[in-house]
Amino acid sequence: MIPASFPEKSEIARLTARMLLEIKAVHFNAREPFTLASGLPSPTYIDCRKLISYPRIRSALMDFLTVTVMRDAGFEAFDNIAGGETAGIPFAAMVAERMALPMTYVRKKPKGYGRNARIEGAMSEGQRVLLVEDLTTDGGSKLSFVDAIRETGASCGHTAVIFYYGIFPETEKTLGDHGVQLHYLCTWWDVLAEAKAQGAFDPETLDGVEAFLNDPRAWQEAHKG
């Protein structure tokens, strides 16, 4: 269960960034950018899936995520915790355990046989569902999961993630227009601040990352190909 006392939001963000850096889930490379799933270049990449292999860190972060949701949405706001396939599933299970709630998961698409279901586990009409994922970039991928949850007759007005890019201004509007509030622990800005404080990367790399964060669309356009 959840301890009674937790740091303020700003300290949670700093500690989350520190943990992500400590396990080398954060990758910066301005000279040879990464290619994102969208096909666009980026000098930043984060691998939140690594967290499941670090018990002390994953426990602290799941405590942080649970208390963040309870502080922002309410202590009795949910009846079911759903994880998005696949990265959200372990984190949803850990949050559900802390909140003493049923856990389900949502497939990206119907499995194509048997019940052809997208929801696995028991989710019923009228339940208030929290969607848990590892991260969000622009919020778009969350909408399909939310719609699948709502098709059961349950409601889904909140999603919680460990990491939120925090650099695309349309993200929270995209979710908000769909009736979904976003809860998160830290952003790229928090990671950059902690990386600077630690001297975790060379100054040229940090400058390149900061240029990207300040205007990601222009940076991507300039570095295509």
Residues placed in the known binding site? 107-108, 111, 133-141
Bridge partners for 68 per DSSP:
none
Q: Which two tokens stand for residue 135?
A: 């991260």
C-beta separation of 148 from 106 below 8 A: yes
Reported confidence tier of residue 112, pLDDT bands at 50, 70, 90: low
Closest CA to 69 of 134, 136, 131: 131
What 8-state DSSP symbol labels residue 76? Answer: T
| 113, pLDDT greater than 70 | no
Residue with tokens 């300039």: 222
Residues placed in the known binding site for 5-phospho-alpha-D-ribose 1-diphosphate? 107-108, 111, 133-141
Q: Is CATH 3.40.50.2020 the classification given to domain 9-219?
A: yes
Reported confidence tier of residue 140, pLDDT bands at 50, 70, 90: confident
Closest CA to 129 of 177, 180, 164, 166: 180
Reported confidence tier of residue 115, pLDDT bands at 50, 70, 90: low
Residues placed in the known binding site for orotate? 137
| 150, pLDDT greater than 60 | yes
